[in-house]
């Protein structure tokens, strides 16, 4: 399940959905990302998230497919929000159900790391002085390439 | 009408590039042997903010909504996209 949406999401509802992955579900790993104050500029009050409709969903599906080839996954759920997002808001959710924790942990971390450098989303920071596009971080590239 | 559309491709720009170029989408004429790198060169030669497509920050390329390289072929009917490195998550 992939959803690109402006609305907030309920991590507990997502977790409960992952629990319905069949009788051999033995592990669920979830990640939730939040909008935080970044170190790039001062006085940031929130973000605006832009994406490339169609390609974004296709890229995330490819990441889920790649994860399914490498690890034993029963269900994957990925949600990413777009539009205006104030500080503290939930921005991204990745949840994996699998038989064993190793697969769930690895697939969840892989999808999240790869999403950050390959899914077409762009963050714009908003502060009192105006707005500016966020630059891609070298540390994110290195994490993604480490897989 | 159909004839006129059949030899063109579209180019879309996103995020910072869309704002700095002041263009969201354009239609260009396809030529034999065209690549995404050649399209970038042609657009950069317009000068002004367009120069950054070859001499500025990195530009990511997609063809038909899949990541592509400068050597990727461009054909009539394709949807190209140029955008800054992605920053989601």
**pLDDT higher than 50, residue B1:** no
* Domain residue extents for chain B: 2-83
Smallest Cα–Cα separation from B84: which of A12, A135, A44? A135
Domain B2-83 has CATH 3.10.20.30: yes
Asked whether the beta carbons of A80 and A89 are under 8 A apart, the reply is no
Q: How confident is the model at residue B13 (pLDDT cuts 50, 70, 90)?
A: very high
In chain A the domains, ranked by start, together with CATH numbers, are 2-129 (3.90.1170.40)
**Nearest CA to CA, how far is B84 from chain A (Å)?**
8
Give chain A's end-to-end CA distance (angstroms, integer): 23
In sequence order, what are the residues at sequence separation of 6 or more whose Cβ sits closer than 8 angstroms to the Cβ of residue A92?
A: A31, A32, A33, A78, A79, A80, A81, A112, A115, B88, B89
Tell me how close the Cα of B65 comes to any Cα of chain A, in angstroms: 5
Whole-angstrom Cα distance, residue A61 to residue A96? 14
How much is the pTM? Answer: 0.93
Residue range A103-118, pLDDT digits in tens: 999 999 999 999 999 9
The model's pLDDT over A55-97, given as tens digits with 9 standing for 90+, comes to: 999 999 999 999 999 999 999 999 999 999 999 999 999 999 9
- Residue B63 forms contact with A (CB below 8 Å): no
Residues of B in contact with A33 (CB under 8 A): 89
Residue that wins the pLDDT comparison between B12 and A128? B12
- Identify the closest residue of chain A to B81 by CA–CA distance: A52
Q: Report the pLDDT value the prediction gives residue A41, as an integer from 0 to 100.
A: 73
């Amino acid at each position: 399940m992939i959803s690109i949406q402006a609305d907030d999401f309920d991590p507990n509802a997502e977790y409960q959905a992952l629990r319905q992955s069949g009788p051999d579900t033995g592990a669920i790993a979830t990640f939730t990302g939040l909008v935080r104050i970044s170190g790039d500029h001062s006085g940031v009050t929130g973000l605006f998230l832009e994406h490339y409709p169609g390609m974004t969903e296709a890229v995330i599906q490819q990441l889920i497919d790649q994860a399914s080839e490498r690890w034993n996954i029963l269900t994957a759920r990925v949600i990413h929000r777009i539009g205006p997002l104030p500080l503290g808001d939930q921005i991204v959710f990745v949840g994996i159900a699998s038989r064993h924790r190793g697969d769930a942990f690895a697939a969840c971390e892989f999808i999240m790391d790869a999403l950050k450098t390959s899914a077409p989303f762009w963050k714009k920071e908003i502060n009192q002085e105006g707005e500016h596009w966020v630059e891609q971080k070298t540390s994110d590239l290195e994490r993604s390439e480490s897989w | 009408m159909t004839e006129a559309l059949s030899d063109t491709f579209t180019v879309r720009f996103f995020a910072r590039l869309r704002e700095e170029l002041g263009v969201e989408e354009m239609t260009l004429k396809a030529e034999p042997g065209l690549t995404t790198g050649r399209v970038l060169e042609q657009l950069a030669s317009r000068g002004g903010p367009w120069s950054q497509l070859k001499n500025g920050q990195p530009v990511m390329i997609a063809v038909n909504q899949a990541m592509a390289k400068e050597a990727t072929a461009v054909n009539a009917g394709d949807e190209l996209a140029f955008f800054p490195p992605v920053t989601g998550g």
